[in-house]
Amino acid sequence: MAMAATGCHTIDDDRIPPTAVYVPFNTIGEWQVYGVGGALDYRYFIKPERQPSGFPYTQLAQTGYGGVLLACDVNGIAVAYDMACPVECRTDVRIRVVSGETYAECPVCHSTYSIFSTPYGYPLAGRAAEMGWGLQIYSVAPGSMGEYMCIRR
């Protein structure tokens, strides 16, 4: 179980069932069109719903349990999360970035999460904060051919 320590509290960021995650950006051009370009930029990747529209999903591509939220933190570093709310723990209940804000919120339990700054995926309010349940975090790394990809850590 992955735990992140912040002060005297521990956060459980491993409530989402293990699910394959592989979102490759095969060229710099794909990253420029579908990736995140700067601080506070974000994108949703949900393969069954073909989000984002036009993204070249392959048979190998997988978008986790509830989808992947790809975000760019305040320092311009790409971070990725599973979109499934750890309180609801359902594939069809997904967090969303609140317009004009720096956090994401679950539309059902209304828990909010830090997504653009550390500690990444930290629960800010709601049932998730009460229980210490954070978002599942995925790695964003360069591939062997210079491409970027999101993968399960």
State how far the Cα of 39 lies from the Cα of 60, in Å rounded to an integer.
Answer: 29
Once rounded to an integer, what is the mean pLDDT over residues 77-100?
96
State how far the Cα of 42 lies from the Cα of 57, in Å rounded to an integer.
Answer: 18
Per-residue pLDDT at 1 exceeds 80: no
Domains recognised in the chain with CATH numbers: 20-152 (2.102.10.10)
Residue 142's pLDDT band (boundaries 50, 70, 90)? confident
Residue 136's pLDDT band (boundaries 50, 70, 90)? very high
Per-residue pLDDT at 27 exceeds 70: yes
Q: What's the chain's average pLDDT?
A: 89
State how far the Cα of 97 lies from the Cα of 6, in Å rounded to an integer.
Answer: 23
Residue 138 near residue 150, CB atoms below 8 Å: yes
Of the listed ranges 18-27, 49-58, 74-83, the one predicted with least confidence: 18-27
